[in-house]
C-alpha cells in the first residue's frame, strides 16, 4: 500500500532529535552555521543584530530536542496540565534567561569571545517582549518560569500583540507614547504555526433546532478570524524541561466573511483584513482599570476560545472522554480578562459535544479557577449586556442560564432576600445592565484566590463577601512570588556569587535556603563583601543610566527607589511631597543640611495614556527633578532621576542597586505588589504601609528591618467613616503646608501657577488616597531611614537579613501553593 512507500527510510529521519554538542566548539560551529544559513551573512559581514539572532537560534537549537519530547509526553501521559490563561505576559529579555536555563552561559561566552564578538553589545540589542502592563503580566511570566523549573506540564496561553506596552519618552517633562514594534528586528524565540490556526467566530444570532428529538441551540456567527499560534519555549532551570507559551495572533480568514465584504472591491477587502488583524494589534496600556472597549472583549474571547479549542483538539488524545476533562486540565483565570472562557467551554460541551447542561456545568466548574488581582472597585470588569449580546449572542444566553441556576441556589440557601439576589446576580442592573465578570468567575470557579493574605481577607470580607458566605471553602489565598532566576541569579550576578560561595548553589531552586545568610549578618567580613556588591551594583546602574543620557549616581547617596506603574493609589505624590519638603527644608534653612542624608530618588513608571491625573504626576516629578538638580543649594545632597521607559530590562539594573524600596500605597489598595519582593530579595529595606504583601514582608524580615508608617486598613475605613477632610491636614502641618504651597506657587513650573493647580486642588479637596493623612507618619519614617542609614554597619546587617528572610517570596513556593490548594496537579518526571 501507498503509506508504506511513504515511510521514511533515511536513518536521520527516524533518529531522535539530538542537541548539538555542549562544548565551545560545538556551540561555535552551530552559531556560525546559523549566522550563515539563517541570517545569510558571514561573521565578517554580520552586524550585531545578525549576531544576536544567530545566537538566539543557537540557544534554541540546544533546547529543541527537549521541547519535542515534552510536547509529545503531554499527549501520551495522563498528567494534568496547567493551562494558564492570561491576557498579559511581561516576559523581559529572553537570551540570558534561556542560556542560563540550558547551562550554556559559559560556553556561549567563550564561543563569542573566540569569534571576536562583544557579548554585552549583542545582549543590548534584544528588545524585550513587553506583552504586559505591570505586576499582573510579570507575575504570569514568573509563574511559567517556576512551573517549567518544577517540571509541571503547563501551557501558557495568551495574545501575541503586535505592539506591546508603549515606549515612553519625555518632552518637557511630559509623557510621550510611542508604539513598541518589538518584532521589527526579528523574533527568534517564537515559532508560527499557521497550519494549526483556529477559526474564531463573532456576532450573528442563535437559533434552536431539532436534533433527533432533542431541542438544541446553535450559534450562527456573522464573521470570523483565524487565530494563529506562535509557540515560545519556556525552559526550566537546569532540569531539561521545556514547556510552551502559546500566543495567538489574529489573521484574516481567506474568505473574510464580514457583511460589508465585497470581493470585487480590493480596497474594501484589505480594509476588512485590517479589521480582523486589529484584534491582536495592540496591548491595552491600562493597568488595574478595565478598558471597556469592544475590541478588548474581542481580544479576550479571541484568545480564550482559541486556547480551549487548541487544548481539546491538539493537546488531548483523540476521542478523549470529556467527562474526564477535569482530570487532565485546570484553566487558571488570570484576573477577569479570560473569564469569557467559562461560557465558551459550556458552549463547546453543550452545543458542539452535545453533553447535558448539568453534566457540562459540573465539568466546567472543576476545570476553572480564578485569581483576583485587585481591590479597586473600578477595576472589576463589567461588560454591557447589549455589547456582549451583539458580539457573543450564544455566550450571553449561556451566562443568563448560569445566572438563573445560581440565583435559584441562592434562594434555596438564603430565602427570597431580593436585596441579596440583586447584589449577587451576575447581571448588574445599575447604572445599566451589565455582566459582572468577577462574579461569573466566582460562581464558575472551583477556587477563588487573592494574591496576598490581606488582599484575600479583604476579598472575603468586602468585595466578594456574599459569595464567601455561601461557599467559604471556595476562597483561598496564594501570596504572589517572583522568580529567583531572573530577579536574583541573572539580575544580581555578584550577590548570587556571594550567596553561592556561602551556601552552595541550591538556593536558585530552593530559595528558603537563603535563611543560611542570617548567621552571616553578624560576620563583619561578610557584611563588608555584601556592601561591596551593593556599591558595585550602583556603579553598574550608574553606567546604564549614563548610557541612556541620564545623570550618573553620586557616591555615598542612599538610593531611594519607587518603580511601579503610575497610579494615584500607589501614591507617587506622597513621595514627591517628601522630596519637596526636604528640598524646601534645606533651602529655607529649616533643616540642618549636614544632618540630611544625601539621597538619590529614582522613579520608574509609565502612566496609562488616557489617565490624565497620572500624567500630571509624571510632569510634576520631572519638574521637581529639574529644579532640584539645578539648585546649587542642594548640590551633592538631593538628586531626582526619572529614566524614561521603565521596563523589565531596566528593573533588572535598578533593583540590585537599591537601598530603599518605596511601597507606600494607601492600606487596602495594593493587592500584593511584587516589586516589593524583588527589592527585599536584593537587599533593599522597605519603607511601606501595611498593605498587600508588605504585611508579610514585614512579618518575615522583622520590624527592625522594615520602616512601617501610615494608617492600617481599618484606620483608613474609620477615617472615611468619620469624614476625611484633607485640607485639615494641610492646615495643621506646617511642613506639609510649605511643600504644597511651594508646588502651588509655580516654583516648579516657571512661576505658572496653573500647571499643577489641578493636582494641588485634588490633594486639598479630594485626595481619594489620603496622601495628606499619611504625610506626617511618612516623614517621620523617612527620618528613621536617615538615622538608620547613618549607621552603615547596622544598615548592611538589616539588608542581609532582608535577603535571608525573603525566600518565601519565590514563585516556586507560590506554584507549590497553587498545585496543592487549587490545581491538585503534580510535577512529572
Ligand atoms: C496588583 O495591582 C499585584 C499584581 C499581581 C495587580 C498588584 O498589587 O501584585 O496584580 N493587579 O498580582 C492588576 O494588575 C488588573 O489588576
pLDDT(257) > 70: no
Read off the pLDDT of residues 409-445 as tens digits, 9 standing for 90 and up.
999 999 999 999 999 999 999 989 999 999 999 999 9
Say what the pLDDT of residue 93 is. Answer: 98
Say if ligand 1 is within 6 A of residue 373 CB.
Answer: yes
Say what the pLDDT of residue 14 is. Answer: 86
| For range 205-217, the mean pLDDT | 97
Cell numbers standing for residue 123: 545582549
| For range 278-288, the mean pLDDT | 94
Nearest to 743 by CA among 573, 499, 597, 608: 573
| For range 613-617, the mean pLDDT | 98
- Environment class of 238 (CB within 10 Å of its CB; exposed 0-12, middle 13-18, buried 19+): middle
68-72, 169-173, 459-463, 487-491: least confident range: 68-72
Say what the pLDDT of residue 317 is. Answer: 92
- Beta bridge partners, 130, equal 90
CA distances from 90 to 164, 277, 279, 508, 802 (A): 9, 22, 19, 21, 26
pLDDT(175) > 80: yes
| For range 199-208, the mean pLDDT | 97
Say what the pLDDT of residue 233 is. Answer: 97
The residue assigned the cell 435559584 is: 408
Read off the pLDDT of residues 331-346 as tens digits, 9 standing for 90 and up.
999 999 999 999 999 9
Say if ligand 1 is within 6 A of residue 380 CB.
Answer: no
- Catalytic choice (447, 489, 570, 698): 570
Measured in angstroms, how far is the CA atom of residue 480 from the centroid of ligand 1? Answer: 10
E strand segments, 633-787: 638-641, 660-663, 685-688, 706-708
263-267, 572-576, 668-672, 717-721: least confident range: 263-267
Mean pLDDT of the chain: 96
Say what the pLDDT of residue 254 is. Answer: 64
124-138, 263-277, 633-647, 809-823: least confident range: 263-277
Read off the pLDDT of residues 801-816 as tens digits, 9 standing for 90 and up.
999 999 999 999 999 9
pLDDT(3) > 90: no
| 73 — pLDDT class (breaks 50, 70, 90) | confident
Query: From CA 533, how far away is CA 6, in angstroms rounded?
Result: 62
Query: From CA 670, how far away is CA 692, in angstroms rounded?
Result: 5
| 695 — pLDDT class (breaks 50, 70, 90) | very high
The number of beta carbons lying within 10 Å of the beta carbon of residue 775 is 26
Say if ligand 1 is within 6 A of residue 692 CB.
Answer: yes
Read off the pLDDT of residues 39-60 as tens digits, 9 standing for 90 and up.
999 999 999 999 999 999 999 9
Say what the pLDDT of residue 288 is. Answer: 87
pLDDT(262) > 80: no
Say what the pLDDT of residue 281 is. Answer: 97
The number of beta carbons lying within 10 Å of the beta carbon of residue 453 is 17
The number of beta carbons lying within 10 Å of the beta carbon of residue 546 is 12
The residue assigned the cell 433527533 is: 212
pLDDT(260) > 80: no
pLDDT(1) > 80: no
Measured in angstroms, how far is the CA atom of residue 670 from the centroid of ligand 1? Answer: 7
The number of beta carbons lying within 10 Å of the beta carbon of residue 598 is 16
Nearest to 198 by CA among 307, 344, 278, 345: 307
Read off the pLDDT of residues 638-661 as tens digits, 9 standing for 90 and up.
999 999 999 999 999 999 999 999
Read off the pLDDT of residues 780-809 as tens digits, 9 standing for 90 and up.
999 999 999 999 999 999 999 999 999 999
Say what the pLDDT of residue 659 is. Answer: 98
Say if ligand 1 is within 6 A of residue 142 CB.
Answer: no
- Catalytic choice (674, 686, 689, 805): 674
Read off the pLDDT of residues 292-313 as tens digits, 9 standing for 90 and up.
899 999 999 999 999 999 999 9
Say if ligand 1 is within 6 A of residue 394 CB.
Answer: no
Say what the pLDDT of residue 292 is. Answer: 87
CA distances from 534 to 11, 76, 520, 527 (A): 55, 49, 16, 11
Residues in the chain: 829
- Catalytic choice (485, 564, 578, 637): 564
In the DSSP assignment, the letter for residue 508 is G
Measured in angstroms, how far is the CA atom of residue 430 from the centroid of ligand 1? Answer: 26
| 76 — pLDDT class (breaks 50, 70, 90) | confident
For strand 223-235 and strand 198-202, is the pairing parallel, antiparallel, or unpaired?
A: antiparallel
- 689 counts as catalytic: no
- Cis peptide bond N-terminal to 561, omega within 30: no
**Ligand 1 probe mutation, 87, 89, 288, 608, most atoms within 8 A of CB:** 288
Say what the pLDDT of residue 255 is. Answer: 53
Cell numbers standing for residue 593: 543640611
Domains of the chain (ranges; CATH) run 1-76+93-127 (no CATH), 77-92+128-164+186-480+816-823 (3.40.50.2000), 484-809 (3.40.50.2000)
pLDDT(289) > 90: no
- Ligand 1: residue whose CA is nearest its atom 15: 288
The distance from CA 252 to its chain's CA centroid, rounded to whole angstroms, is 29
Say what the pLDDT of residue 272 is. Answer: 72
- 564 counts as catalytic: yes
Measured in angstroms, how far is the CA atom of residue 672 from the centroid of ligand 1? Answer: 7
Say if ligand 1 is within 6 A of residue 35 CB.
Answer: no
| For range 224-232, the mean pLDDT | 97
Say what the pLDDT of residue 287 is. Answer: 87
Say what the pLDDT of residue 566 is. Answer: 98
Read off the pLDDT of residues 533-561 as tens digits, 9 standing for 90 and up.
999 999 999 999 999 999 999 999 999 99
Say what the pLDDT of residue 747 is. Answer: 98
Better pLDDT: 692 or 378: 692
The residue assigned the cell 500500500 is: 1
pTM of the model: 0.97
Read off the pLDDT of residues 435-451 as tens digits, 9 standing for 90 and up.
999 999 999 999 999 99
- Ligand 1: residue whose CA is nearest its atom 10: 136
pLDDT(264) > 70: no
pLDDT(588) > 90: yes
Say what the pLDDT of residue 610 is. Answer: 95
Amino acid at each position: 500500500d501507498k503509506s508504506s512507500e511513504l515511510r521514511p527510510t533515511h536513518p536521520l529521519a527516524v533518529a531522535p532529535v539530538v542537541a548539538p554538542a555542549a562544548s565551545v566548539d560545538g556551540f561555535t560551529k552551530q552559531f556560525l552555521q546559523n549566522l550563515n544559513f539563517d541570517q545569510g551573512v558571514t561573521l565578517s559581514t554580520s552586524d550585531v543584530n545578525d549576531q544576536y539572532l544567530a545566537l538566539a537560534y543557537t540557544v534554541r537549537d540546544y533546547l529543541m530536542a527537549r521541547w519535542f519530547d515534552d510536547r509529545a509526553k503531554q499527549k501520551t501521559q495522563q498528567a494534568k496540565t496547567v493551562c494558564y490563561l492570561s491576557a498579559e505576559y511581561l516576559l523581559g529579555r529572553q537570551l540570558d534567561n534561556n542560556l542560563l536555563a540550558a547551562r550554556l552561559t559559559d560556553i556561549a561566552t567563550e564561543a563569542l569571545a573566540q569569534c571576536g564578538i562583544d557579548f554585552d553589545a549583542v545582549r543590548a540589542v534584544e528588545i524585550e517582549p513587553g506583552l504586559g502592563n505591570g505586576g499582573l503580566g510579570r507575575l504570569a511570566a514568573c509563574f511559567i518560569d517556576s512551573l517549567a523549573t518544577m517540571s509541571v506540564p503547563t501551557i501558557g496561553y495568551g495574545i501575541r500583540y503586535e505592539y506591546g506596552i508603549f515606549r515612553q519618552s519625555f518632552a518637557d517633562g511630559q509623557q510621550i507614547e510611542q508604539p513598541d514594534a518589538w518584532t521589527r528586528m526579528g523574533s527568534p524565540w517564537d515559532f508560527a504555526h499557521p497550519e494549526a490556526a483556529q477559526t474564531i467566530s463573532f456576532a450573528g444570532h442563535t437559533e434552536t433546532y431539532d436534533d433527533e428529538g432533542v431541542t438544541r441551540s446553535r450559534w450562527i456567527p456573522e464573521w470570523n478570524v483565524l487565530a494563529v499560534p506562535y509557540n515560545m519555549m519556556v525552559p526550566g532551570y537546569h532540569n531539561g524541561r521545556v514547556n510552551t507559551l502559546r500566543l495567538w495572533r489574529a489573521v484574516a480568514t481567506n474568505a473574510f466573511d464580514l457583511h460589508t465584504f465585497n470581493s470585487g472591491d480590493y480596497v474594501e477587502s484589505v480594509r476588512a483584513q485590517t479589521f480582523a488583524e486589529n484584534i491582536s494589534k495592540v496591548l491595552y496600556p491600562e493597568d488595574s482599570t478595565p478598558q471597556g472597549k469592544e475590541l478588548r472583549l474581542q481580544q479576550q474571547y479571541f484568545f480564550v476560545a482559541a486556547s480551549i479549542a487548541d487544548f481539546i483538539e491538539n493537546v488531548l488524545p483523540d476521542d478523549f472522554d470529556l467527562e474526564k476533562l477535569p482530570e487532565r486540565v485546570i484553566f487558571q483565570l488570570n484576573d477577569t480578562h479570560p473569564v469569557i472562557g467559562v461560557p465558551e467551554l459550556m458552549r463547546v460541551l453543550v452545543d458542539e459535544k452535545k453533553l447535558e447542561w448539568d453534566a457540562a456545568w459540573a465539568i466546567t466548574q472543576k476545570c476553572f479557577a480564578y485569581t483576583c488581582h485587585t481591590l479597586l472597585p473600578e477595576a472589576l470588569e463589567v461588560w454591557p449586556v447589549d455589547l456582549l449580546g451583539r458580539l457573543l449572542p450564544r455566550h450571553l444566553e449561556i451566562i443568563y442560564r448560569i445566572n438563573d441556576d445560581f440565583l435559584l441556589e441562592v434562594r434555596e440557601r438564603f430565602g427570597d432576600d431580593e436585596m441579596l439576589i440583586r447584589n449577587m446576580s451576575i447581571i448588574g442592573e445599575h447604572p445599566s445592565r451589565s455582566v459582572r465578570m468577577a462574579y461569573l468567575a466566582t460562581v464558575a470557579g472551583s477556587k477563588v484566590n487573592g494574591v496576598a493574605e490581606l488582599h484575600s481577607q479583604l476579598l472575603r470580607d468586602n468585595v466578594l463577601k456574599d459569595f464567601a458566605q455561601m461557599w467559604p471553602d471556595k476562597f483561598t489565598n496564594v501570596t504572589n512570588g517572583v522568580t529567583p532566576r531572573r530577579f536574583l541569579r541573572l539580575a544580581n550576578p555578584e550577590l548570587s556569587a556571594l550567596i553561592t560561595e556561602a551556601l552552595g548553589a541550591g538556593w536558585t531552586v530552593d530559595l528558603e535556603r537563603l535563611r543560611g545568610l542570617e548567621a552571616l549578618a553578624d560576620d563583619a567580613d561578610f557584611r563588608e563583601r555584601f556592601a561591596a556588591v551593593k556599591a558595585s551594583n550602583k556603579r553598574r546602574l550608574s553606567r546604564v543610566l549614563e548610557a541612556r543620557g541620564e545623570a550618573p549616581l553620586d557616591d555615598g547617596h542612599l538610593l531611594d527607589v519607587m518603580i511601579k506603574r503610575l497610579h494615584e493609589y500607589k501614591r507617587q505624590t506622597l513621595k514627591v511631597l517628601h522630596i519637596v519638603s526636604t528640598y524646601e527644608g534645606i533651602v529655607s534653612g529649616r533643616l540642618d543640611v549636614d544632618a540630611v542624608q544625601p539621597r538619590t530618588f529614582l522613579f520608574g513608571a509609565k502612566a496609562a495614556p488616557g489617565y490624565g491625573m497620572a500624567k500630571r504626576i509624571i510632569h510634576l516629578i520631572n519638574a521637581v527633578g529639574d529644579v532640584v538638580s539645578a539648585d546649587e543649594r542642594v548640590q551633592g545632597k538631593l538628586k531626582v532621576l526619572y529614566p524614561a521607559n521603565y521596563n523589565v530590562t531596566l528593573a533588572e539594573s535598578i533593583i540590585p542597586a537599591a537601598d530603599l524600596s518605596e511601597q507606600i500605597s494607601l492600606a487596602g489598595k495594593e493587592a500584593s505588589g511584587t516589586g516589593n519582593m524583588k527589592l527585599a530579595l536584593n537587599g533593599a529595606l522597605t519603607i511601606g504601609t501595611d498593605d498587600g504583601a508588605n504585611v508579610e514582608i514585614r512579618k518575615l524580615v522583622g520590624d527592625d528591618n522594615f520602616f512601617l508608617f501610615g494608617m492600617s486598613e481599618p484606620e483608613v475605613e474609620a477615617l472615611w467613616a468619620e469624614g476625611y477632610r484633607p485640607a485639615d491636614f494641610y492646615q495643621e502641618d506646617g511642613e506639609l503646608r510649605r511643600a504644597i504651597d511651594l508646588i502651588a506657587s509655580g516654583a516648579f513650573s516657571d512661576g505658572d501657577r496653573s500647571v499643577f493647580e489641578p493636582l494641588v486642588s485634588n490633594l486639598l479637596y479630594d485626595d481619594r488616597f489620603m496622601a495628606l493623612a499619611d504625610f506626617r507618619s511618612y516623614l517621620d519614617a523617612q527620618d528613621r531611614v536617615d538615622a538608620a542609614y547613618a549607621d552603615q554597619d547596622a544598615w548592611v546587617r538589616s539588608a542581609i537579613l532582608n535577603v535571608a528572610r525573603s525566600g518565601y517570596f519565590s514563585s516556586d513556593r507560590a506554584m507549590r501553593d497553587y498545585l496543592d490548594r487549587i490545581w491538585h496537579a503534580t510535577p512529572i518526571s
